[in-house]
Amino acid sequence: MTAVDGVQRTLEVALGERSYPILIGTGLVGRPDMLTPYLAGQQVMVVTNETIAPLYLERLCDSLPDDLEVRTLVLPDGEQYKTIEQVERIWSALLEAGFNRRCTLIALGGGVIGDMVGYAAAAYQRGVAFIQVPTTLLSQVDSSVGGKTGVNHPLGKNMIGAFWQPKAVLVDIDTLTTLPARELSAGLAEVIKYGFIRDETFLAWLEANMTALRRVEPEVIAEAIARSCLIKADIVTEDETEQGVRALLNLGHTFGHAIEAHQGYGNWLHGEAVGAGMAMAATLSHELGWISAADRERSLAVIKSADLPVHAPAGMSSDDFLARMRLDKKNIDTRLRLVLLEALGSACVSDAVPPDQLKTLLDQYPRR
């Protein structure tokens, strides 16, 4: 990590010619020197949503040099608008403005905006530059890093997309001060996930600092974001297109996606479902004899301390779970593949869980 003036942390996602920096600090949105080095040419389009526009759009645009051609586009807020129709609006706006292949898109918002703008950039004139300015904790530690972009299809979440890396990721932690507490907790689920899969020391640090994290204390939150991005960047560098180790980032997600889909998207936030899903994965890992009872308890305690659920939803049967889990993208042929814990700080992908044991776990797991 190196220090750039006023930036608390700078990391790099090392992908050869497609390498890019993640700049983490306070007061970054609004600083003229933060975005300009990463612009491809004179044409810039900033895309955001109706919730974020009144908070940060003007400040961001004011920081861009006067001689640029700057356009803005404000989309509706919500996962239900993460669609090809909204991406088409971005493409239309770019074409109407006469933007060429040297234009730059800036995604100002959470994961929904980041994923859509990234995909718009990946396909516009076969690929133009884009910059991520993530404004939720989840997008700052997860979706803005790694180049997965895309939209939902009526038949499946994130089913249409592309790998397309940004030119830079600008994480201004001040934006978290306006983020609802529930969204902050949802982002903490992904932060905890990094500790579980790769770094027991980080997990212990999270346990010790959870109160400060939930208060968004700048030094502590910057440290958590940096350590999370470092782990994600490492994994992405190793396995950009998810042929292997990148699948570990799905800890808790096979259970979690089933919960989200069963409850109807938006009723449980993604991070909440992942919190419960990680608790289920820890429980299964314990029942397989991989982690101790004490480690299982410790896992549930850290999830709870972030104000995330560890129970499954009332009214969701084991068959409801299994039907959804069989659709998971990680599965190969008919075998269910799950990310489980070999220890706290070390995860693996396993297709060796006996179906009866999984069914028993799902039958007996506490509901609320």
Ligand X SMILES: NC(=O)c1ccc[n+]([C@@H]2O[C@H](COP(=O)([O-])OP(=O)(O)OC[C@H]3O[C@@H](n4cnc5c(N)ncnc54)[C@H](O)[C@@H]3O)[C@@H](O)[C@H]2O)c1
Q: Binding to ligand X (CB under 6 A): which residues in 178-207?
A: 178-179, 183, 186
Contact call for residue 111 and ligand X (CB under 6 A): yes
Complex with ligand X: residue 138 or 220, whichever CB lies closer: 138
Q: Which span sits near ligand X by CB under 6 A: 57-65, 107-115, 219-227, 359-367?
A: 107-115
Task: Give φ, ψ of 306 to 5 degrees.
Answer: -90, 10
Per the CB < 8 A criterion, the answer to whether 8 and 222 are in contact is: yes
Residues 142-161 touching ligand X, rule: CB under 6 A, are 142-143, 146, 148, 158
Specify the residue, 144 or 283, whose C-beta has the smaller distance to ligand X: 144
Q: Which two tokens stand for residue 319?
A: 């068959």
Residue placing its CB nearer to ligand X in the complex, 78 or 355: 78
Least distance from ligand X to the Cβ atom of residue 21, Å? 18
Among 29, 35, 81, 110, interactor with ligand X by CB under 6 A = 110
Active site residues: 126, 148, 190, 232, 242, 246, 250, 253, 257, 270
Using rule CB under 6 A, residue 169 touches ligand X: no
| Residue 275 touching ligand X (CB under 6 A) | no
Nearest-CA neighbor of 167 among 29, 46, 19, 16?
Answer: 19
- For CA atoms 169, 174, 180, 186, give the dihedral sign: positive
Measured in whole angstroms, the distance separating CA 12 from the mean position of its chain's CA atoms is 17
Q: Which stretch binds ligand X (CB under 6 A): 65-73, 140-148, 334-342, 356-364?
A: 140-148
User: Which token pair is 313?
Assistant: 């939803």
Task: Give the ranges where 104-180 is alpha helix by DSSP (H).
Answer: 111-123, 137-138
* Amino acid letter for position 206: L
Site for ligand X, residues 208 to 267, rule: CB under 6 A: none
* Sequence-ordered list of residues with C-beta below 8 angstroms from that of 120, at least 6 positions apart, any chain: 47, 87, 90, 91, 94, 105, 130
What are the beta bridge partners of residue 339? Answer: 349
* Identity of residue 45: M
- Options 96-104, 111-119, 192-200, 233-241: segment touching ligand X (CB under 6 A): 111-119
- Two tokens, residue 301: 């305690």
Interface residue with ligand X among 12, 79, 242, 328 (CB under 6 A) is 79
* Residue 13 CB-half CA count within 13 A: 29
- Closest CB to ligand X among residues 270, 337: 270
Nearer to ligand X, 223 or 272 (CB): 272
- Among the residue ranges 8-16, 103-111, 197-205, 336-344, the one whose residues contact ligand X (CB under 6 A): 103-111
Q: Rounded CA gap, 365 and 360, in Å?
A: 8
Considering the complex, state which of residue 18 and residue 359 has its C-beta at the smaller distance from ligand X: 18
Give strand pairing partners of 289.
Answer: none
The Cα diameter of the chain in Å comes to 65
Do 47 and 75 meet the contact criterion of CB atoms below 8 Å apart? Answer: yes
Q: Which of 37, 87, 39, 67 is nearest to 95 (CA)?
A: 87
- Does 139 bind ligand X (CB under 6 A)? Our answer is yes
- As given in the structure block, the two tokens for residue 332 are 């190969």
Instruction: Enumerate residues 6+ apart whose C-beta is below 8 A from 93.
Output: 45, 71, 73
To ligand X, the closest distance from the beta carbon of 135 in angstroms equals 4
Residue 112 binds to ligand X (criterion: CB under 6 A): yes
What is the total count of residues that contact ligand X (CB under 6 A)? 28
User: Which residue lies nearer to ligand X by CB, 180 or 366?
Assistant: 180
Q: State how far the Cα of 218 lies from the Cα of 215, in Å rounded to an integer.
A: 9
Q: How far is the CB of 265 from ligand X (least distance, A)?
A: 9
User: Which span sits near ligand X by CB under 6 A: 20-28, 173-181, 219-227, 323-331?
Assistant: 173-181
Binding site for ligand X (CB under 6 A): 49, 51-52, 55, 77, 79, 82, 109-113, 115, 135-136, 138-139, 142-143, 146, 148, 158, 175, 178-179, 183, 186, 270
